[in-house]
Copies of this chain bind each other. A is one copy, B any other.
Amino acid sequence: MGTDRAPSEDVRGAIDALQEMKSRGRNFTLILVGDQAAIEKELAKFPAADRSRITIANATEVIAMDDEPAQAVRSKRDSSIVRGLTLHREGEADAFVSAGNTGAVMAASTFILGRIPGIARPTIASQFPAANGYTLVADVGANVDTKPRNLYEFAVMTSVYAESIFGYQRPTVGLLNVGEEEGKGEERAVQSYALLKASNLNFVGNVEGRDILKGTVRVVVCDGFTGNIILKFAESVPGLLRTKLTNYANSGLLQKLMMGLSKGVLKGVFREMDYQEYGGVPLLGVNGVSIIGHGGSTAKAIKNMIFKAEEMVRKEVNQKIAAAIGNAAK
């Protein structure tokens, strides 16, 4: 029930995931959590769907986008978010995917699933396009008032994620700061540097804002305040470019023609910056798999979120995090 057009995009994305995965010879079972009647109505649009692999868990409440997260999780016990995560905790599901209220998914995931032993604060790691692949940035919004110990945990979890899911062997880790030299930045940055340097992570030192897109390192850690602002800034870049390009096209007939010719070029470039392509981001550090997506997610984004959830389970990312957090300190 998470997307702005729930449950239509959500259901279609789930069916697409099921069918595409089947064609790769890899099957799974879907539990669609939410308003049973509304979900049935959507499902009826896909007569070819393999109903033997789909069940519906009825949930009578919905946590709205503007609900206060912690309060909503406590009071709406029969919401699709709380119900879905409870099914995951009880072992009925191996992973949970939602495009609903981000704060509520984070709060409910942490509260219901609990944390991986050794992790004080879960984190959201997001991928940014870089010259040579992707840069993983954490935290992008799970935490405010981050402490150095939390930044160290983010680095451990995101390194495991980068290696398991993106295939980056022993990924390089940088601390986001206002200069490269040790000793730069706020007190928090200075203390975090020391913790990261003393760990057995592949820590290369401070990196700056420009290093994210350059791909200087594979993993960038920062406090959740800065990370969230950078993520939202980055997501707004294609919008500005589109506006400027439209203004250009509207400035004359020749410009309109040129713009028409350029469309294919630009589409390819924008695609990598588009969150619909990678779908969602994992909440790392909870004792389960919880994938969080935008409210504006399309069916394609939902499908990609489900693929990510399946991959997180199959590659045992949480088991690797649990091992790494025990090992990462020298």
Binding site for B on A (CB under 8 A): 129-131, 141, 144-145, 176, 178, 185-187, 189, 208-214, 222, 224-226, 228-237, 239-241, 243-245, 248, 255, 258-259, 261-262, 264-266, 268-269, 272
User: Given A129-B240, A214-B239, A222-B229, 19 other A-B contacts at CB below 8 A?
Assistant: A129-B244, A131-B243, A208-B228, A208-B229, A209-B232, A210-B233, A212-B236, A213-B233, A213-B237, A226-B226, A226-B229, A230-B230, A233-B233, A241-B269, A248-B265, A248-B268, A255-B265, A258-B262, A262-B266
When distances are taken between beta carbons in the complex, the residues of chain B under 8 Å from A229 are 176, 178, 208-209, 222, 226, 230
For A246, the closest partner residue in chain B by CB is B131
Q: Among B239, B259, B269, which residue has its beta carbon within 8 angstroms of that of A245?
A: B269
> Which residue of chain B is the closest to A184 with respect to CB atoms?
B144
What is the count of identical protomers in the complex?
Answer: 2
- Pair B210/A236 contact, Cβ less than 8 Å: yes
Closest to A232 in B: B209
19 contacts between A and B (CB under 8 A): A145-B186, A178-B225, A185-B225, A208-B228, A208-B232, A209-B228, A209-B236, A210-B232, A210-B236, A211-B236, A213-B236, A230-B230, A233-B234, A241-B269, A244-B268, A244-B272, A248-B265, A258-B265, A262-B266
A130 touching B240 by the CB < 8 A rule? yes
In the bound complex, do residue A265 and residue B262 qualify as a contact, i.e. CB atoms below 8 Å apart? Answer: yes
List residues of chain B with CB within 8 A of the CB of A141: 178
Q: In whole angstroms, how far apart are the Cα atoms of A163 and B120 in the complex?
A: 46
Which of A213, A214, A243 has the most B CB atoms < 10 Å from its CB?
A: A213
Task: Give the distance to chain B from A137, nearest Cβ to Cβ, in Å.
Answer: 10
Beta-carbon contact of A258 and B261 below 8 Å: yes
Q: Which residue of B lies closest to A236 (CB)?
A: B210
Residues of chain B contacted by A230 (CB below 8 angstroms): 209, 229-230, 233
**Residue among B130, B210, B261, B265 making CB contact with A235, cutoff 8 Å:** B210
Question: In the complex, how many angstroms separate the beta carbon of A130 from the nearest chain B beta carbon?
Answer: 7
Q: How far is A268 from B240 in the complex, measured between Cα atoms in Å?
A: 13
- Which chain B residue lies CB-closest to A176? B229
Which residues of B are found within 8 Å of A130, using beta-carbon distances? 240
A209's contact among B129, B189, B233, B241, by CB below 8 Å, is which? Answer: B233
- In the complex, the answer to whether B233 meets A212 with C-beta atoms within 8 Å is yes
- Bound state CA distance, A239 and B131, in angstroms? 9
Residue of B nearest to A230 (CB): B233
| CB-based contact A131/B240 at 8 Å | yes
Contacts of A186 in B (CB 8 A): 144-145, 225
Q: With A and B bound together, what is the CA distance between A102 and B197 in angstroms? A: 27
Instruction: Compute how far the CA of A213 lies from the CA of B130 in the bound complex, rounded to whole angstroms.
Output: 20
B187–A228 touching, CB < 8 Å: no
CB distance from A135 to the nearest CB of B (A): 10
